[in-house]
């Protein structure tokens, strides 16, 4: 008899993002001919349910966002087993979820309609006729169904994408009895319901949400006549004419609210309800758009778009300020207050260290327990760093959250030229002490390496700290930042001057560097003096004391700042978890890409080799007697370029007189000509940091997830640690999200060649242009013959 593997999840809950989190999971073997009773007994035995007074409710899902299917008869069991046999992956992703109820609550569950598994969550029982009857409701006939996947309404104080619910949904209440509401189902989620008498809501806030949603959907407005902790009475805005009203009271001994009076007749005038809708409160708008901000970095849903979408869905309008406050309410509901994630950081650090041993994470606070410095270097970065080129690129970017600060990042280049994050630091500002603190922590984490180079912008604090901590490292500056400074200081930095500067900074030979510098001095002596004072050993490739491996800019650090641009809008607690998840995604993706490479070298290094190979085809390896006698060594060759210049290539030392071979650590076109002439494999003369094996070794380690915050088990001394937000003073004016662009960073607007407008091109132009009217009468022309 064949058996089917089935996964069972229990003691968990829905986290509001279509996932069943927490709890435990077990696997059971079920026969293909199993019955409903047999499956129940297997589940009882597997998860250890004792006593006949407990009833098991089994549900499962087949696709995210679809309603759950409930198993409650033999036919459902057969269907489930057949589904498992057809697609084995379905049940591993969506296992059976188990909910355990008391026998009295299970008996009151509403019957299913036919053989379907649809559950009506609205109130459909007739019952309460008076206020006195509602004061005696028996909880044995009252059911609170576990909420299906939805956006949770409770206050959230969490970190990253893991939400810590402060007031989770209770699955049991203690209320008196009454047969008038026997079998009624409590509305416990945000799914739209039909408002009617005897509806029971989990709490007052949920009732208010459904009431506001109903008013917006049906285009009426109301005002509150009386609202207390035990009563909610609302009437139509035009109550002198319209009899519409709703009255709900709290059930004794619980937080449940029941609708005891509902007059669903509107006779109000349209003139009264024109204009902005009263029920578009900021908290209500936040509940409507909360799903747009479920992903932590998704903050690009703007107030204008909120106004547009809600008007399209409900037909109501409101002003920009209310839309902005609605966005803030949604973000606060999902992420909590900006100060709350700071208290969770010690617990988060403990979990990351436990799941990823050897990770270096430090939190430094001042005397008032306020966050001063934060440092993170995961174990995967420490493991992969030896397989990267020995060049560290550092940069910093401003944090845009409430308490400000700076995010410092140190990264390297992998074999494919991609960003390899090394460490992150959160500091108050880009001061000398901040950079010194970051470099000291970085040195303790990854140590130092031979021929190490550090590339950064022209910030004095970076050079000061790098020279103080890394004594043997060569320091270089970004030529792109230097070019931006030149454009700011000298208005004629364009055309020939810019070309000469590019040649002076990127040339490999000192002779070429001198030639370009002389051209600059002849055109602008002040610029020449400025470049000399900037120290060519830091910005010129020909003068640089170490090996930069063709890394002349800080583009990778700037690219990393562009990646985390939206994340820097979040509080620090969310930001650090987002960075951990970013490394987790990158390492998985790049490890899979490295496994697919079939060549010896990484793709970008292979492309570089192919380019040099094409250039080397036009270069001649000299074979005349003079050259043979002078360079008789089998590893040393002389080659002649098209211009007649002779370059000496030493394959044993991997050098060339053009200096490209030793600087880039990849055979230059002259070396490729020798390889082609001697039938030598050029891949064997590349640096050890370019093969695919080193690329895979960079990402061979795994960033382990830390799970949902509800399942974190840390010692009490860690949980009791206090980390307060830094003491910062809010600056004047509206907080800026975008930094001020330097001169030279401005982008020229696109101009359309069809209508001469800006912001679009000819292909996307939708503006109307005047037609050229052809004249009806053409001017007469005189024709002459050759004889005339």
pLDDT digits (tens, 9 = 90+) for 13-63: 766 555 667 777 888 888 888 888 888 888 888 887 766 556 778 888 766
pLDDT at position 355 is 92
pLDDT at position 524 is 92
The rounded distance, in Å, linking the Cα atoms of 336 and 325 is 15
76-80, 141-145, 779-783: which has the minimum mean pLDDT? 141-145
Provide mean pLDDT across the span 760-765: 84
Give the start-end residues of each E strand in 264-390. 360-365, 371-377
Nearest CA to 656 out of 669, 641, 675, 643 is that of 669
Most confident of the ranges 174-178, 552-556, 657-661: 657-661
Q: At what angle do helices 496-506 and 510-523 cross, to 10 degrees?
A: 150
The two most distant CA atoms of the chain are separated, in Å, by: 124
Provide mean pLDDT across the span 200-216: 90
112-126, 609-623, 713-727: which has the minimum mean pLDDT? 112-126
The rounded distance, in Å, linking the Cα atoms of 413 and 318 is 50
Nearest CA to 138 out of 177, 103, 175 is that of 177
Q: Quick one: how far is CA 184 from the chain centroid?
A: 42
- In this structure, the number of other CB atoms found within 10 A of the CB of residue 697 comes to 18
Structure tokens given for 154 = 């409770």
Provide mean pLDDT across the span 751-780: 74
pLDDT at position 38 is 84
pLDDT per residue as tens digits for the range 696-705:
999 999 999 8
H or E element, residue 101: strand 96-102
pLDDT band for position 404 (50/70/90)? confident
Per-residue exposure over 147-171, b if at least 16 CB sit within 10 Å of its own CB, e if not: bbbbbbbbebbbbbbbbbbeeebeb
pLDDT at position 112 is 37
Give the strands of the sheet with 186-187, arranged side by side.
186-187, 200-201, 257-263, 245-250, 231-236, 222-227
pLDDT at position 439 is 94
The rounded distance, in Å, linking the Cα atoms of 26 and 442 is 43
Most confident of the ranges 372-376, 548-552, 635-639: 372-376
What does each C-alpha distance from 302 to 188, 277, 325, 527 come to in angstroms? 30, 20, 11, 45
- Is residue 784's pLDDT more than 80? no
Structure tokens given for 735 = 């907080």
Could you tell me which residue, 92 or 397, shows the higher pLDDT? 397
- Is residue 740's pLDDT more than 70? no
Quick check: helix, strand or coil at residue 597?
coil
pLDDT at position 250 is 92
- Is residue 218's pLDDT more than 90? no
- Is residue 166's pLDDT more than 60? no
- Is residue 80's pLDDT more than 80? yes
DSSP 710: G
Structure tokens given for 420 = 């390899």
Nearest CA to 288 out of 273, 300, 305, 264 is that of 305
- Is residue 183's pLDDT more than 80? no
DSSP 601: B
pLDDT at position 460 is 87
Nearest CA to 555 out of 418, 697, 668, 432 is that of 418
pLDDT per residue as tens digits for the range 284-301:
898 888 888 776 556 678
- Percentage of the chain lying above the pLDDT 90 cut: 31
- Percentage of the chain lying above the pLDDT 70 cut: 78
pLDDT at position 776 is 53
User: CB under 8 Å to 350, separation ≥6 — which residues?
Assistant: 714, 715, 718
DSSP 135: G
- Is residue 273's pLDDT more than 80? no
Hey, what domains does the chain have and what are their CATH numbers? 3-107 (3.10.20.90), 133-335 (no CATH), 357-587 (no CATH), 603-690 (no CATH)
Strand bridging mode 200-201 / 96-102: unpaired
pLDDT at position 530 is 92
- Is residue 614's pLDDT more than 80? yes
- Is residue 136's pLDDT more than 80? no
pLDDT band for position 105 (50/70/90)? very low
pLDDT at position 747 is 61
- Is residue 774's pLDDT more than 70? no
Contact 393, 554 (CB under 8 A): yes
pLDDT at position 97 is 78
pLDDT per residue as tens digits for the range 485-523:
888 888 888 889 999 999 999 999 999 999 999 999 999
pLDDT per residue as tens digits for the range 567-587:
787 888 888 888 999 999 999
Provide mean pLDDT across the span 738-746: 55
What does each C-alpha distance from 712 to 163, 357, 362, 705, 772 come to in angstroms? 12, 16, 19, 12, 73
Q: Which residue shows structure tokens 């610029």?
A: 527
pLDDT per residue as tens digits for the range 308-350:
988 888 888 888 999 999 988 888 877 777 777 888 889 999 9
Give the start-end residues of each E strand in 502-625. 620-621
Provide mean pLDDT across the span 720-748: 68
pLDDT per residue as tens digits for the range 230-253:
999 999 988 888 999 999 999 888
pLDDT at position 690 is 92
């Amino acid at each position: 008899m064949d058996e089917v593997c089935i996964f069972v999840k229990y003691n968990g809950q829905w986290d509001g993002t279509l996932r069943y989190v927490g709890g435990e999971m077990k696997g059971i073997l079920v026969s293909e001919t199993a019955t409903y009773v047999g499956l129940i007994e297997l589940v009882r035995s597997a998860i250890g349910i004792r006593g006949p007074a407990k009833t098991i409710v089994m549900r499962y899902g087949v696709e995210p966002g679809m309603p759950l299917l409930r198993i409650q008869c033999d036919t459902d069991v057969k269907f489930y087993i057949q589904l498992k046999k057809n697609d084995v992956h379905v049940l591993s992703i969506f296992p059976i979820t188990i909910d355990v109820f008391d026998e009295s609550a299970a008996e009151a569950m509403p019957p299913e309609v036919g053989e379907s598994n649809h559950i009506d969550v609205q109130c459909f029982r007739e019952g309460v006729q008076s206020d006195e009857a509602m004061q005696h409701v028996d909880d044995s006939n009252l059911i609170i169904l576990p909420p299906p996947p939805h956006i949770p309404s409770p206050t959230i104080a969490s970190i990253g994408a893991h939400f810590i619910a402060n007031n989770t949904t209770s699955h049991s209440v203690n209320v008196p009895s009454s047969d008038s509401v026997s079998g009624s189902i409590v509305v416990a989620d945000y799914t739209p319901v039909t408002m009617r008498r005897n509806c029971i809501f989990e709490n007052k806030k949920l009732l208010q949400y459904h009431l506001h949603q109903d008013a917006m959907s049906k285009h009426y407005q109301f005002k509150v006549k009386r609202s207390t902790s035990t009563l909610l009475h609302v009437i139509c805005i035009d109550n002198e004419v319209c009899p519409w009203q709703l009255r709900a009271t709290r059930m004794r001994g619980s937080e449940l609210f029941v609708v005891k009076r509902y007059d669903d007749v509107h006779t109000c005038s349209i003139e009264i309800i024109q204009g902005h809708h009263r029920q578009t409160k900021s908290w209500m708008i936040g509940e409507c758009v909360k799903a747009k901000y479920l992903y932590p970095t998704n903050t690009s849903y703007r107030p204008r778009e909120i106004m547009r979408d809600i008007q399209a869905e409900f037909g109501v309008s409101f002003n920009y300020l209310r839309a902005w406050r609605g966005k803030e309410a949604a973000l606060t509901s999902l992420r909590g207050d900006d100060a709350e994630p700071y208290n969770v950081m010690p617990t988060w650090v403990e979990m990351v260290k436990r799941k990823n041993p050897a990770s270096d994470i430090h939190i430094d606070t001042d005397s008032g327990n306020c966050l001063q410095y934060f440092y993170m270097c995961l174990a995967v970065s420490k493991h992969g760093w030896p397989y990267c080129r020995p060049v560290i690129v550092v940069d910093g970017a401003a944090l845009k959250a409430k308490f400000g600060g700076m995010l410092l990042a140190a990264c390297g280049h992998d074999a494919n030229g991609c960003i390899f994050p090394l460490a992150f630091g959160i500091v108050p500002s880009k001061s000398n002490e901040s950079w010194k603190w970051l470099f000291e922590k970085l040195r303790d984490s990854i140590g130092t390496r031979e021929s190490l180079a550090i590339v950064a912008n022209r910030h004095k604090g970076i050079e000061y700290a790098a020279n103080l901590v890394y004594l043997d490292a060569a320091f270089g500056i970004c030529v792109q930042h230097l070019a931006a400074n030149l454009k700011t200081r000298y208005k004629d930095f364009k055309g020939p001057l810019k070309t000469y500067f590019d040649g002076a900074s990127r040339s490999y030979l000192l002779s070429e560097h001198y030639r370009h510098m002389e051209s600059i001095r002849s055109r602008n002596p002040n610029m020449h003096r400025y470049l000399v004072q900037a120290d060519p050993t830091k910005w010129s490739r020909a003068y640089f004391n170490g090996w930069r491996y063709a890394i002349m800019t800080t583009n990778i650090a700037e690219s990393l700042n562009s990646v985390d641009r939206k994340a820097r809008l979040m509080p620090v607690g969310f930001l650090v978890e987002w960075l951990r998840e970013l490394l987790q995604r990158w390492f998985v993706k790049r490890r899979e890409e490295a496994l697919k490479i079939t060549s010896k070298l990484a793709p970008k290094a292979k492309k570089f080799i192919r380019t040099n190979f094409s250039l080397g085809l036009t270069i001649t390896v000299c074979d005349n007697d003079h050259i043979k006698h002078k360079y008789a060594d089998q590893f040393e060759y002389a080659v002649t370029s098209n211009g007649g210049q002779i370059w000496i290539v030493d394959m044993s030392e991997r050098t060339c007189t053009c200096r490209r071979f030793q600087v880039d650590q990849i055979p230059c076109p002259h070396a490729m000509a020798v390889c082609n002439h001697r039938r030598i494999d050029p891949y064997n003369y590349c640096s050890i940091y370019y093969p695919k094996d080193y690329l895979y070794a960079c990402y061979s380690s795994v960033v382990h997830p830390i799970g949902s915050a509800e399942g974190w088990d840390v010692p009490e001394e860690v949980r009791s640690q206090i980390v307060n937000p830094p003491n910062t003073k809010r600056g004047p004016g509206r907080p800026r999200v975008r930094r001020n662009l330097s001169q030279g960073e401005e982008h020229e607007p696109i101009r359309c060649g069809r209508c001469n407008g800006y912001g679009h091109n000819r292909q996307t132009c939708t503006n109307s242009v005047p037609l050229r009217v052809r004249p009806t009468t053409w001017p007469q022309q005189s024709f002459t013959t050759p004889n005339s």
